[in-house]
Structure formats: C-alpha cells, structure tokens
Amino acid sequence: MIPELSNTTVFMKDRERVQNILQSMMKAGSNTLQVISDFDMTLTRFAHNGNRCPTCHNILDNSKLISDECKEKLTELFNTYYPIEIDVSRSVEEKLPLMVDWWTKAHELLVQQKIRKDLLAMVVRESNAMLREGYQLFFGHLHEHSIPLLIFSAGIGDILEEVIRQAGVFHPNVNVFSNYMDFDESGVLKAFKGELIHIYNKREGALLNTGHFQELRTRPNVLLMGDSLGDLTMADGVQDMENILKIGFLNDKVEERKQAYLDSYDIVLVKDETLEVPNGILLYLTDCRSLTSDF
C-alpha cells in the first residue's frame, strides 16, 4: 500500500491505471527505473509561508549582482510572458516562439550585467531558494539504490547545481541538462552555452544528449515529475520505454488548469509543497511494499 496516495492533495483521473503501472514497475525491479524531473517548482517549492519561492532565474534576478534597471526589465518580461506560459487556452505551437523570445531577452540582459562566476555560490546562499520538504529522502534514496535522476531545466544550470550542492544532495547519480553560463578567462559571464533550453523544448534537450540515454537503455521504466504541461515530453528521448508514471505538481491557477493536468498527468498534486508522494512511490518501488487494490 502507498498511504501517501490518500493525501488530500492527490488527484487521479484513473486510479486503476496508476495501480497497474506501479505494479508493473515494481515487478520489473528498481534496477530498471530512472527518474526524469523538472527542477523549478517541481523539486523546489513554489511557495513558503505565503511567499513565492525563487526559480533559478529569480535567484539571480533578485540578487545584488543585478542592477535595479535590469531588475525592472526582467520583471517586465515576467509580467508579459508568464501569463502566456500558463494560459491553457493557447497551444504549445502558439507559445513556442514567445517563450524563446522571453528566455533570449532575459539571457541577453543577464550577459550585460557582467556577472562573476565566483559570486554565484554567495547569491544562492543569500536567496530564499528551497527544495521541497522531503528532499533529503528523495535524493538520498535514489542515490542509495543507484537510480539515475535526470533533471531537465529551462533555468540556469550553474545556479541549479549550486542549490543542490549547498543542500548536500548533488550525488553522482544526478545528471543536469539546462542552460549553462559561459565565462571568459577572468570569470565574467560572456554568453550562454549551446542551444537554448526553454519550457517547451526539453525533449530536444533530451534527444541531444543521447549518450546519456544509451547508458539508460536498460532502464525502460520512468518516473516523470513536472509542474507544467511542457514537462510531459521530457522522456521522449527514452528508447524502448515499458512504463511511465507522470506526476504533475499543480502549483498555481488551480481551477483553470486542473482538468488539463488530470488529462495529461497520471497523478496530480495540488498545492503540495512536499515530495511525500514521490517518496512514497519510490519506497514502494524499491522496498517491494505490497500494493493493495484500494491503495
């Protein structure tokens, strides 16, 4: 039994389907499992004590490394594009060029700030970044059982890695695919490396990193975690997939988006700031807890 699936934050369109997937994954064994997750607002909290928690971009945007003028421009971008990102009435095709515009403009503004690499750790330390409650068990259990954790993020990889490093959970089984800063020889930001990863092209990021997926071919069972409908394609690069269980964190604009999430994710967690449910599932899949028909 997975008692966490009875939490009041948990919603499922088809409980029986979830049960069947979990039973199939458990029978296959944890050595066939991999976890693919978004980072901002999925592994990190959306809010704490009524206040929004920062994303990787926010950590930098809100820091003293950024001028007030630049902060104003970044806020304008957020106010323009975030409502578009979460608008369920618009198609992904419609949102795509607009998301590229947002990320590109934001990165151009950051490059103008001549950010120093050696100050990033301080910026993270001084921020209100918070991993979700239960993160020690989540990261620790995956590490202990040698289950790969692939984090696909439209955020800033350098900041993301620093958050999990400072939390003491950047274990060897963790691989991060994100937007990484490119510094000049004196350690000043000059550009961002490679292809832009944004909320709707993480699948391409996955496919570009087929080397990692080759290593994971013996792991055809996927636990996918995200907080946007764009996260649903993160596992598209996995070859010969047998089972996938999709967990969606619905953090914001719940009533407008709940049905779309229930139609797309197997398990929807509404305003849940913890990792209780993923942890309960991982304990079941690794410890062979018996799954009763009534959950």
Please give the Cα distance from 176 to 33 (Å, whole number). 17
The verdict on whether 101 is a catalytic residue reads no
Query: What distance, in Å, lies between the first and last C-alpha atoms of the chain?
Result: 5
In sequence order, what are the beta bridge partners of 246?
224
What angle separates helix 276-287 from helix 135-144, to the nearest 10 degrees? 20
271 phi-psi bin (left φ>0, alpha ψ -120 to 50, beta other): left
Q: Angle of helix 276-287 relative to helix 15-28, nearest 10 degrees?
A: 40
Q: At 100, which helix (H) or strand (E)?
A: helix 92-112
Residue 13's contacts (CB-CB under 8 Å, 6 or more residues apart) are 262, 263, 266
Residue 79: CB atoms within 10 Å: 9
Q: For CA atoms 146, 151, 156, 162, give the dihedral sign.
A: negative
Instruction: Check: CB of residue 178 under 8 Å from CB of residue 206.
Output: no
The residues, any chain, with a CB within 8 Å of residue 83's CB and separated by 6 or more, are none
**From 38, 227, 231, 266, active-site residue:** 38
Catalytic residue among 40, 61, 227, 272: 40
Residue 40 a catalytic site member = yes
Distance of CA 47 to the CA centre of its chain: 15
Q: Would you name the residues annotated as active-site residues? A: 38, 40
